[in-house]
Amino acid sequence: MFDELQHLILVHETGSFTVAARRAHLSQPALSMSVARLEQAMDARLVDRTRGQIGLTAEGQALLPHARAALAAVETGRAAVAALAGLLAGEVRIAAGATAATYLLPATLARFRAAAPGVRLRLREATTRATLSLLAAHEVDLGVVVEGARLPRGVVAEPFADDTLVVVRAADSDEATALPWVAFPPGTPTRAALDAHEAEAEIAVEASEIAAIVAACAAGMGRALVPEVAVAAALAAGRLVRAPTPWSPLQRRLMLVHRGVEALSPAAAALRQAMITAAGPKQPHGTPLDSAVAETAATEPTDRA
């Protein structure tokens, strides 16, 4: 269809099928057939062939600006693809908490790497506090942090993804039994949320890694407040079940942080856009995580989840 539109424009500009065919590097019959195909697709006569001078009909004139706009849009798209494909070298450094680094970013980074194989990606797991420090020190280009953290001067934040925290327990545990908690250490955002709702919580196990929390919970050592994305597979497999809790699920927002779009390299800017596009629209649900809790926890050195 795009070739046919281009051929119609050439006929309009030259006033001749012969000259238009020469510019398109086609034979005159081939160009005439191309215009005929466009007329068939539009179900209208677009070129007036009855006069000595070839010209567009009223229908052709109506189509002309749209044809030019369509071709311009295609060229813009080609330029965007070429810009991404042209990222032959460079490096983008990303820091993120455990939830983003383990569950939210790998697929996006893999797709980006396939589209721009010459760009080296360096992903490091870091706390919100460490991520912001690394960003301020120009040691990383992009970061993912929990909303509510105090941003260093020159660092900007934009919504990245919504992270739901749910309470789970082993599938074979007694639902009527008040299980103790398997929890992250004090100072983590998830532990702060738990403490805010369960001031007298009995902590049976403390662990810093999401995998360790999930494993201990699945072994029946207690219930846990964890990112939903981290237990999706275990819930689907039936190893864990949701534990009814009046105050859960909780919703927190993860933010994409950087030193301003204008400060990003072309590769980092392209990755930022890919991350935002992959994350999709933000649709809050559940009980919002108290911003004061999030800010307090996010500034501690041990926040991992």
Domain positions in the chain: 2-85, 91-305
Give the model's pLDDT for residue 82.
64
212: number of Cβ within 10 Å = 14
- What residues contact residue 7 under an 8 Å CB cut-off, 6+ apart? 20, 24, 26, 31, 34, 35, 38
Contact 252, 146 (CB under 8 A): yes
Reported CATH class of domain 91-305: alpha beta
Give the model's pLDDT for residue 301.
37
Q: Where are the alpha helices (DSSP H) in the chain?
A: 2-14, 17-23, 28-42, 58-85, 98-99, 106-115, 128-136, 189-197, 210-218, 228-237, 266-279, 291-298
pLDDT of residue 123 exceeding 60, the answer is yes
Q: Where are the alpha helices (DSSP H) in 138-227?
A: 189-197, 210-218
Give the model's pLDDT for residue 305.
58
Q: What is the pTM of this model?
A: 0.62
* Lookup: tokens for 279: 């994350």
Q: How far is CA 42 from the centre of its chain?
A: 38
Residue 207's Cβ-count burial label (10 Å; 0-12, 13-18, 19+) is middle
pLDDT of residue 255 exceeding 90, the answer is yes
Greater pLDDT, 197 or 199: 197
CATH topology of domain 2-85: Arc Repressor Mutant, subunit A (1.10.10)
Closest among 97, 99, 101, 105 to 127, alpha carbons compared: 97
Mapped onto helix, strand or coil, the DSSP state of residue 216 is helix
Give the model's pLDDT for residue 290.
43
Tens digit of each residue's pLDDT (9 = 90 or more) over 32-56: 999 999 999 999 999 988 766 788 9
Instruction: Give the pLDDT band (50/70/90) at residue 174.
Output: confident
What's the mean pLDDT when you consider all of the chain? 86
Backbone angles phi, psi at 78, to 5 degrees: -65, -40
pLDDT of residue 176 exceeding 70, the answer is no
111: number of Cβ within 10 Å = 12
CA distance 36 to 286: 58
CA dihedral (24, 28, 29, 34) positive or negative = positive
pLDDT of residue 138 exceeding 70, the answer is yes
Instruction: Give the pLDDT band (50/70/90) at residue 281.
Output: low
Instruction: Give the pLDDT band (50/70/90) at residue 293.
Output: very low
pLDDT of residue 119 exceeding 80, the answer is yes
pLDDT of residue 304 exceeding 80, the answer is no
Instruction: Give the pLDDT band (50/70/90) at residue 145.
Output: very high
Average pLDDT, stretch 239-264?
Answer: 93
Give the model's pLDDT for residue 131.
94
Q: How far is CA 211 from the centre of its chain?
A: 24
Tens digit of each residue's pLDDT (9 = 90 or more) over 181-191: 999 998 788 88
* Lookup: tokens for 57: 């009909």
> Peptide bond preceding 249: is omega within 30 degrees of 0, i.e. cis?
yes
Tens digit of each residue's pLDDT (9 = 90 or more) over 211-233: 999 999 999 999 999 999 999 99
Contact 265, 229 (CB under 8 A): no
Contact 226, 213 (CB under 8 A): yes
pLDDT of residue 285 exceeding 70, the answer is no
Q: How far is CA 27 from the centre of its chain?
A: 47
CA distance 20 to 237: 64
